[in-house]
Amino acid sequence: MSRLAKWPPRYWLVVLVVLIFFGLPTQVTSFQSLEWAEVLIFAIVILGLNLLVGYSGQISLGHGAFMAIGAYTTAILVHRYNLNYLATIPIAGLLTGLVGFLLGIPALRLSPLYLALATFALAVITPSLIKRPVGLTQGTDGIEILPQQPPDWASSAFTSVTGGPPMSSDQWLYYVVFFIAVILFWIAWNIVRRRPGRALMAIRDGEVAAAAFGVNIAGYKTLAFGLSAFYAGVAGSLYALATGFVHPDEFPVSLSLGLLVGAVIGGLGSIPGPLLGGIFTFWLPILSGQFVGGQSWIPDQVAAVFKNAGPAVTYGALLILIMIFAPNGVVGLILSAYGRLRSRLRGAGERTTGQLPPDPQTV
Amino acid sequence: MTEFAQQVISGLASGGIYASLALALVLIYNAMGLVNFAQGEMAMLATFLAYTLIGRGMSYWIALPITIVVAFAGGLLIQRVIIRPVERAPVLTLVIVTLGLATLVNGLAGFLYGYIPRDFPSPFSVRTIDILGAAASYRDLGVIAVSAVVLVLIYLLLQRTTIGLAMRAAAHHPEASRLLGVRVSWMLALGWGLASAAGAVSGIMVAPILLLEPNMMQSVIIYAFAAAVLGGIESPLGAVIGGLIVGVTVNLAGAYVPGVGGDLQLAVAFLIIIAVLVVRPNGLLGRRAARRA
């Protein structure tokens, strides 16, 4: 118990957040559980993107493509080969991770700018690439996955807590996503605060200096790519299970950009940031659309246009404003506010937090 | 053979459009070492302006210069307001800001004009004339001519005027230029304005072919990326050559390679980008970048 007493407050915050997400499906409807499952899925892929962009300093504008690989792996394995859906999740993750690792090798030779360019082009052509091998992906028809029924032990445990109707397939899926998200966040947190994380940040902040200290630049950079793709693949696989349907047009370039927005808004180079980013990326289009649609003074036609254009305008404006005024995102803002408050209370600033990683990388 | 020549001519016409946009990318790259992901969207918005002007009954040949001037001012303004605060930021920050700009402009156009594709007038008829046995449409020839005029004008501005000299100096040696009294920051803004104007021309040229809608430039910008990378991203002449090569290659691949057609032509552009970056990262005319190590 004495170890627990020494826990810093942020550990308790983590426990609180995990408990809230654990209990969420007992408090909301089945459909809302599914929505929050998608929030967590976005959080997973944004976490992976953050490992790449925020920690290793490489940029990818093509993470929607990695998600597509994961989603289609699961869809094809479940639909055509009747594989257990739970088994397809690690397969999708590992396959996507392998693709990411292989893409990371040519990426080594590219400056950040060219890497951005190449991955952006990849994101743009992804839907067309998926549509072509019709025998494999069923082209524009998409692939349907039947909902997964919860096992009996989970269902009865859920009913004994809520006392209500039995667990729905959506609620079960939420818990699958929840446990995978917890594990992946735990892994990411351990990676970034140990040797690999320090190596990645050293590379990001000064490649030459890192190499001089014996960091294996090529190894860690490709590792970051593979790991990031693994996260995206797992998220894509879960996304396919959650929506029950995969289609080429579900992976447009705007998906990749939305993920980047999530990573930037939550805070690059932070582990809790992606959770905030996931919440933001998922809810912004829905809530803004609902808000405008609910206002009676706004004509229906304007509301319909806003539903399409509104998120883009908000995303774009937020990206610019955050990069100019708060390059560390929401988490950075909170940390610097907290740091300022604490130094005010204790009289002196013991340490500075929320600093933008000094990135001297030039083209 | 005639069909082949026809494909080449229409490829050159698309290539001219890609070249204008690629040149815009190169101008900004030279000014601040940045690829402007919003270049296509800015061009699209300018094209909507031209559409509105023409819709109000203005003649095409008056609407065109007005649009170019407004696009120039718009580019200048964007540099001053949005880019300048992050001018010295890491390249990652700059890329994200221009992506934000692209998303913002795209959404803005959708907000103002909706997502229904519109016919955009072309001053050139689609009738064809006979050139060396190939039937070339007036529209293709007109596009080639307009693109050529724009490219020559920009070349003359950069190479034959004092302000062009100052712009090049500011891009290559900002510190030394500042000491010599060049207003470096304004030269960067000028570069943005010029790029925006060149992009606007490409948008207006491509709109009659692709139909005008907010996502019109999404494929064109990929071809322009390919053109700029192929030509060497810092070389204006390379952008023009790259644009023409990409235009012709993509057109020929679409016509003669089985399975490549329609949206998969974009994949050809992607392959060009990857191949150039792996085999010859500096492009055809780019100088080998000295790398600090």
Answer whether A20 touches B (CB < 8 Å): no
Question: What average pLDDT does range A144-149 have in this prediction?
Answer: 80
CA distance B291 to B252: 37
Question: Inter-chain contact A208–B97, Cβ cutoff 8 Å?
Answer: no
- Please determine, for residue A45, whether its predicted confidence score (pLDDT) is greater than 90: yes
Give the confidence band of B287 by pLDDT, cuts at 50, 70, 90: low
Q: pLDDT: is A167 or B28 the higher one?
A: B28
Q: State the pLDDT at residue B68.
A: 93
Q: State the pLDDT at residue A231.
A: 94
Query: Could you tell me which residues come within 8 angstroms of residue B185 by beta carbon, excluding any fewer than 6 positions away?
Result: B84, B87
Q: State the pLDDT at residue A182.
A: 92
Q: pLDDT: is B91 or A64 the higher one?
A: A64
Give the confidence band of B71 by pLDDT, cuts at 50, 70, 90: very high
Residue of A106, A116, A315 with shortest CB distance to B95 = A116
Give the confidence band of B293 by pLDDT, cuts at 50, 70, 90: very low
Question: Inter-chain contact A53–B92, Cβ cutoff 8 Å?
Answer: yes
Q: Take residue B267 and report the two structure tokens written for it.
A: 């994949």
Q: Using one digit for the tens of pLDDT, what is the confidence trace for B247-276? A: 999 888 888 877 666 677 888 888 888 888
Query: Å from B160 to nearest chain A CA?
Result: 29
Q: State the pLDDT at residue A67.
A: 93
Q: How far is CA A278 from CA A165, A211, B105, in A?
A: 29, 34, 24
Chain A CB contacts of B110 under 8 Å are 305, 308-309, 312
- Please determine, for residue A269, whether its predicted confidence score (pLDDT) is greater than 50: yes
Within the 119-158 window of chain A, which residues sit less than 8 Å (CB to CB) from chain B? 120-122, 124-125, 127-129, 131-132
Query: Å from B43 to nearest chain A CA?
Result: 17
Question: Quick one: CA torsion of B10, B14, B17, B23, rounded to 10 degrees?
Answer: -120
Closest chain A residue by Cα to residue B218: A124
Q: Take residue A307 and report the two structure tokens written for it.
A: 């539903």
Question: What average pLDDT does range B55-79 have in this prediction?
Answer: 91
For testing contact with chain A, the best of B103, B288, B292 (most A CBs within 10 A): B103
DSSP SS3 for B134: strand
- Please determine, for residue B136, whether its predicted confidence score (pLDDT) is greater than 90: no
Q: State the pLDDT at residue B160.
A: 87
Q: pLDDT: is A146 or B47 the higher one?
A: B47
Chain B CB contacts of A267 under 8 Å are none
Question: Inter-chain contact B281–A109, Cβ cutoff 8 Å?
Answer: yes
Q: Using one digit for the tens of pLDDT, what is the confidence trace for B229-250? A: 888 888 888 888 999 999 999 8
For testing contact with chain B, the best of A260, A284, A363 (most B CBs within 10 A): A363
Question: Inter-chain contact A324–B97, Cβ cutoff 8 Å?
Answer: yes
Within the 218-237 window of chain B, which residues sit less than 8 Å (CB to CB) from chain A? 218-219, 222, 225-226, 229
Question: What average pLDDT does range B70-79 have in this prediction?
Answer: 93
Residue of A112, A121, A361 with shortest CB distance to B273 = A121
DSSP H helices in chain A: 2-5, 9-27, 30-50, 63-81, 85-107, 112-131, 134-137, 152-162, 169-193, 195-205, 207-212, 217-243, 253-266, 273-294, 300-325, 329-346
Query: Å from A227 to nearest chain B CA?
Result: 20
Chain A CB contacts of B37 under 8 Å are 116, 120
Answer whether B275 touches A (CB < 8 Å): no
Q: Using one digit for the tens of pLDDT, what is the confidence trace for B210-233? A: 889 888 888 899 999 999 988 888
Query: Å from A132 to nearest chain B CA?
Result: 9
CA distance B236 to B230: 12
Residue B262: DSSP 8-state? G
A45-54, A163-172, A241-250, A268-277: range with lowest mean pLDDT: A163-172
**What global pTM score does this model have?**
0.83
Q: pLDDT: is B253 or B129 the higher one?
A: B253
Question: What average pLDDT does range A296-305 have in this prediction?
Answer: 68
Q: State the pLDDT at residue A234.
A: 94
User: Average pLDDT over chain A, rounded to whole?
Assistant: 82
Residue of A109, A121, A257 with shortest CB distance to B269 = A121
Question: Inter-chain contact B274–A317, Cβ cutoff 8 Å?
Answer: no
Chain A CB contacts of B103 under 8 Å are 254, 257, 312-313, 315-316, 319
Give the confidence band of A66 by pLDDT, cuts at 50, 70, 90: very high
Answer whether A114 touches B (CB < 8 Å): yes
- Please determine, for residue B292, whether its predicted confidence score (pLDDT) is greater than 60: no
- Please determine, for residue B187, whether its predicted confidence score (pLDDT) is greater than 70: yes
Query: Could you tell me which residues come within 8 angstroms of residue B254 by beta carbon, excluding any fewer than 6 positions away?
Result: B260, B261, B262, B265, B268
- Please determine, for residue A72, whether its predicted confidence score (pLDDT) is greater than 50: yes
Q: State the pLDDT at residue A180.
A: 92
Chain B CB contacts of A359 under 8 Å are 90, 92
Chain B CB contacts of A57 under 8 Å are 92
- Please determine, for residue A40, whether its predicted confidence score (pLDDT) is greater than 50: yes
Residue of B86, B111, B274 with shortest CB distance to A118 = B274
Q: State the pLDDT at residue A301.
A: 66
Residue A51: DSSP 8-state? I
Question: What average pLDDT does range B23-34 have in this prediction?
Answer: 84
Crossing angle (nearest 10°) for helices B265-279 and B236-256: 130
CA distance B32 to A234: 38
Question: Inter-chain contact A309–B111, Cβ cutoff 8 Å?
Answer: yes
Residue of B95, B107, B263 with shortest CB distance to A113 = B95
Q: What percent of chain A has pLDDT over 70?
A: 90
Within the 64-123 window of chain B, which residues sit less than 8 Å (CB to CB) from chain A? 82, 85-86, 89-93, 95-97, 99-111, 114-115
Round to the nearest angstrom and report the end-to-end CA distance of chain A: 52
Give the confidence band of A252 by pLDDT, cuts at 50, 70, 90: confident
Check: complex ipTM more than 0.90: no
Question: What average pLDDT does range A181-202 have in this prediction?
Answer: 88
